[in-house]
Amino acid sequence: MPRFRFLTAGESHGKGLTVIIDGVPAGLTLDEDQVASELKRRQCGYGRGSRMKIEQDRAEILSGVRHGVTTGSPISLLIWNRDWENWREVMAVSAAEEETARVTRPRPGHADLAGAIKYGLNDIRPVMERASARETAARVAAGAVARRFVEEIGVEIHSHTLAIGGEWTNTRGSIDWQQVERSAVRCADAEAEKGMIAAIDRAISSGDTVGGVCEIIASGVPVGLGSHVQWDRRLDGIVAQAVMSINSVKGVEIGDGFKLANLKGSEAHDVIEVSQRSPYPWSRPTNHAGGIEGGISNGEPVIVRAAVKPIPTLGKPLPSLDLSTWETVEAHFERSDVCVVPSVGVIAEAMLAIVLADALLEKFGGDSMEETKRNHSNYLDSIQRRR
């Protein structure tokens, strides 16, 4: 069972989103502003829809924190949906006096058709509401708590955009993370940023959408997280599942991923060299593996890339069918984004933080931050004593 676990509830246009987080040790400093800063990052990015101007997300901490410090009890968070005021009748909890308009035209690429058939619904609305990417606000809130925990162990997590609409960055080597946060598309390459924005503008003018690729990097991850002994304990598998679960993500690679298929074995693997650098007595001149070998973190930065498809709610809808008449129609259209690649990077940061928080707790345990940090420090000392 996961040590750090969470559940979310709520609909896109319901009253709000709730999050329950279990497993956070006592003694971690945490406040609502820290969570709010991550929620704000999720809402940014050129190509986002008008709803981002409505919500201005902020999570209320309802339990598990006292005087700015976690208590070891479950943490509950609540994010109100401001747009609920405009959807009171459509999303009312109590029985409706009059039937509201049903949505019966599924959108290709969404959960609409499969969800309606699976749950025996004659109205797609319940599927749309829960399958909506609005749910990722709750994930980012949970990830903000996980981020605070992993930071105490020395782990830093960032993301940046590699491509949008076929326009790729030329960034190589070290990344200016401050430049990424200033960028409208979260790209470190100013020239590539212009091309990405132009690709989004072309999609807007043609009623279309664009996807792309984002990269997530976690540095300071200690060697030894995850395990090779069972398939479901392999860290790379857990990371891939977490990132793949994000709306619109259709591909995940770790390290050089698919590029490795075209290399020889002598070119694809990371040589191990003797080193005096801290915290380990070895080093790697390359990181093709993306920080994970055999399902175990190897001490190098964990590098993950996510391929993000163009979102399927289009200004010029694709052909579909009407579930009430079985006639050919245009798919349903609802207010939507044009490009979500920059925000997917932030959501993926949250999911990676959650996975690493759980892996750290599995490795080091601890009911309090003091105990967890002590166990981590002793582990690093034991590695040095192996020399």
Write the DSSP assignment of 284-350 as a string of letters.
-S--TTTTEETTEE-SSPEEEEEEEPPPS--SSPPEEE-TTT--EEEPP--S--S--HHHHHHHHHH
* pLDDT of the residue at 163: 97
Average pLDDT estimate for 295-320 = 94
Residues 6 or more apart whose Cβ sits within 8 Å of residue 59: 19, 32, 35, 36, 39, 77, 78, 79, 141, 144
Average pLDDT estimate for 46-71 = 83
Ramachandran region, residue 56 (left: φ > 0; alpha: ψ -120 to 50; beta: rest): left
Residue in the structure block whose two tokens are 């932030």: 346
- Whether 238 has a pLDDT exceeding 70, the answer reads yes
Nearest to 340, CA basis, from 11, 96, 47 = 47
In contact, 56 and 39? CB cutoff 8 Å:
no
Burial code (b: 16+ CB inside 10 Å, e: under 16) for 108-131 equals: ebbbbbebbeeeebebbbebbbbb
* pLDDT of the residue at 46: 87
pLDDT digits (tens, 9 = 90+) for 71-96: 999 999 999 998 888 888 888 888 87
* pLDDT of the residue at 150: 98
- Whether 53 has a pLDDT exceeding 70, the answer reads no
Average pLDDT estimate for 308-325 = 92
In contact, 111 and 125? CB cutoff 8 Å:
no
Amino acid at 40: K
Average pLDDT estimate for 186-192 = 94
In contact, 113 and 106? CB cutoff 8 Å:
yes
Ordered by start, the domain boundaries in the chain are 5-384
> Which sign, positive or negative, has the C-alpha torsion 74, 21, 28, 77?
negative
* pLDDT of the residue at 49: 64
Q: Please tell me the distance from the alpha carbon of residue 186 to that of residue 159, in angstroms, as a whole number.
A: 8
180 or 85, which is more confident: 180
Q: What distances in angstroms separate CA 227 from CA 173, 232, 238, 245, 349, one per listed residue?
A: 30, 9, 11, 22, 22
Residue-averaged pLDDT of the chain: 93
Helices (H), the chain: 32-43, 51-55, 112-118, 125-131, 136-152, 177-182, 190-205, 235-244, 265-268, 341-364, 369-384
Amino acid at 209: T
Structure tokens at 281: 């007595």
pLDDT digits (tens, 9 = 90+) for 132-157: 999 999 999 999 999 999 999 999 99
Instruction: Provide the percentage of residues in the chain whose pLDDT is more than 70.
Output: 98
Residue 386: pLDDT band by 50, 70, 90 thresholds? Answer: confident
Amino acid at 48: R
* pLDDT of the residue at 352: 98
Residue 334: pLDDT band by 50, 70, 90 thresholds? Answer: confident
Residue 16: pLDDT band by 50, 70, 90 thresholds? Answer: very high
Burial code (b: 16+ CB inside 10 Å, e: under 16) for 184-206 equals: ebbbbbeebbebbbebbeebbee
In contact, 359 and 227? CB cutoff 8 Å:
no
* pLDDT of the residue at 52: 53
Burial code (b: 16+ CB inside 10 Å, e: under 16) for 140-174 equals: bbbbbbbbbbbebbebebbbbbbbbbebbbebeee
Nearest to 212, CA basis, from 187, 182, 237, 180 = 187
pLDDT digits (tens, 9 = 90+) for 252-287: 999 999 999 999 999 999 999 998 776 788 999 999
Residue 56: pLDDT band by 50, 70, 90 thresholds? Answer: confident
Q: Please tell me the distance from the alpha carbon of residue 131 to that of residue 25, in angstroms, as a whole number.
A: 31
Residue 171: pLDDT band by 50, 70, 90 thresholds? Answer: confident
Average pLDDT estimate for 185-190 = 94
Residue 196: pLDDT band by 50, 70, 90 thresholds? Answer: very high
Residues 6 or more apart whose Cβ sits within 8 Å of residue 325: 104
Average pLDDT estimate for 213-226 = 98
* pLDDT of the residue at 50: 55
Q: Please tell me the distance from the alpha carbon of residue 131 to that of residue 75, in angstroms, as a whole number.
A: 24
Residue 44: pLDDT band by 50, 70, 90 thresholds? Answer: confident
Structure tokens at 337: 């984004």
Residue 121: pLDDT band by 50, 70, 90 thresholds? Answer: very high
In contact, 226 and 241? CB cutoff 8 Å:
no
Domain 5-384 has CATH 3.40.50.620: no
Structure tokens at 109: 């690429």
**pTM score:** 0.95
In contact, 332 and 108? CB cutoff 8 Å:
no
* pLDDT of the residue at 54: 59
Give the count of alpha carbons within 13 A of 313, CB side only.
19
